[in-house]
Each structure stands twice: as C-alpha cells, then as structure tokens.
Amino acid sequence: AQSVTQLGSHVSVSEGALVLLRCNYSSSVPPYLFWYVQYPNQGLQLLLKYTSAATLVKGINGFEAEFKKSETSFHLTKPSAHMSDAAEYFCAVSVLGNTGNQFYFGTGTSLTVIP
C-alpha cells in the first residue's frame, strides 16, 4: 500500500530563513514522488518531482528535495524563504498499477512566512 506522511501541519519561518518541510512515504514499489504547492482558492502547482533519476531534485522558485530511500523520505527545502512562499504544500507519491497512475497525497503543510 502507498501512503504519505507530512510531519507538521503548520510551519512558520522568518523571511530569509531556511524552509524545511518534511515528507515520508510508504510504497510497495519504487515510487515517483512529487511536491505540489497550493495557493488559496487555487489548484495544485507542481514544484518538483522525483522519477528515479538524480536523488537531489531541483524545482521551481528555488525549492529542492532529496530522495533518501533508506529513510523513505523526500523532504522539501529552500535556503531563503520569501513572503510569496506562504502557501499550502503537499507531498504526493504516484504509483503505476494495473489501473493506471494514481496519486496519494499527504495532508499538507501550511507554510507561514514572517516578515
């Protein structure tokens, strides 16, 4: 079975500080991993994805994530937070099965950036 756990439903950082959003996954097969961002009243925007190539994945807006198989983790980081980073962030695992590709999402982490 596949699942995603996001540690910390709310994270607050000061502007310019490091952003670290945690994600652990459970998958019975090699996973594809994703981070999505959701701004208020909007859909999901892809930040980055891991598809079994490089373990350190760079995404948009300065975000990156590192796939650690031994820890079953895919934490999202950004060296310096910006006010515009305030949003809801979702980690997701995608697994190809007999019925196609299905995403399993975590419960989300709300990021607040303090000026």
Partner 1 sequence: DAGVTQSPTHLIKTRGQHVTLRCSPISGHKSVSWYQQVLGQGPQFIFQYYEKEERGRGNFPDRFSARQFPNYSSELNVNALLLGDSALYLCASSYWTGDTEAFFGQGTRLTVV
Backbone angles phi, psi at 84, to 5 degrees: -70, -5
Q: Does 99 bind partner 1 (CB under 8 A)?
A: yes
For strand 10-14 and strand 109-114, is the pairing parallel, antiparallel, or unpaired? parallel
Minimum CB separation from partner 1 for residue 88, in Å?
A: 9
For strand 87-97 and strand 3-7, is the pairing parallel, antiparallel, or unpaired? unpaired
* Contacting range for partner 1; rule: CB under 8 A; set: 16-24, 58-66, 77-85, 92-100: 92-100
Q: Per-residue DSSP letters for 19-85?
A: EEEEEEEE-SSPPEEEEEEE-TT--EEEEEEE-SS-SEEE-GGG-EEEEETTTTEEEEEESS--GGG
Task: State which residue, 9 or 14, has the beta carbon closest to partner 1.
Answer: 9
**Total chain residues near partner 1 (CB under 8 A):** 27
Q: Which of 36, 63, 67, 74 binds partner 1 (CB under 8 A)?
A: 36
Q: Does 3 bind partner 1 (CB under 8 A)?
A: no
Task: State which residue, 12 or 51, has the beta carbon closest to partner 1.
Answer: 51
User: Which residues of the chain form contacts with partner 1 (CB under 8 A)?
Assistant: 4, 32, 34, 36, 41-46, 49, 51, 90, 92, 94, 96-97, 99-108
